[in-house]
Structure 1
Amino acid sequence: MDCTYKTNRYHFPLLDIIGESSVGKSFYVGLAFIANEREPAYTQVLRWLQGLLDQQQIPYPKTIMTDKEKALRNEV
């Protein structure tokens, strides 16, 4: 999980959520524009993702990697 900055017209951070398959191929799990990089914004996205995984009966990931963004690390 990581955010890109100032690459869209509204200057919202874009949160990339990327997975890796058992054979080492990466794939997009989701993308989310968030208002800011504070814990409530990350909480909202992660709850949405949790609901989607639960609804589709997809197991939770065993490992989650982030950059050193404190708010994101606190929410994971």
Structure 2
Amino acid sequence: MCFRRDDLVVAEKLFRNAPVKCVVEWTAMVMGYMKSKKVDLAEKIFDGMPERNLETRQVRLVTFNSLTSMRP
């Protein structure tokens, strides 16, 4: 999937204004930032994800660790 700057701007607005966010929205934003090489913003979104339980947190950490290996 390719992210253009305009796509990310629209996604940021939608994400920010969403009354309820599920794991799909959180993951899409993290992936979009990572693919756009905005690792600092991806980390900020990732760290802001609400924790549901330890298992969910572990899955997110594994996912994020694999994404950060994509750093330029």
Q: TM-score, normalised by structure 1?
A: 0.38
Relative to its length, the structure with more strand (as a share) is 1
Q: TM-score, normalised by structure 2?
A: 0.39
Question: Relative CO higher for 1 or 2, CA cutoff 8 Å, sep ≥ 6?
Answer: 2
Q: Which has the larger radius of gyration?
A: 1
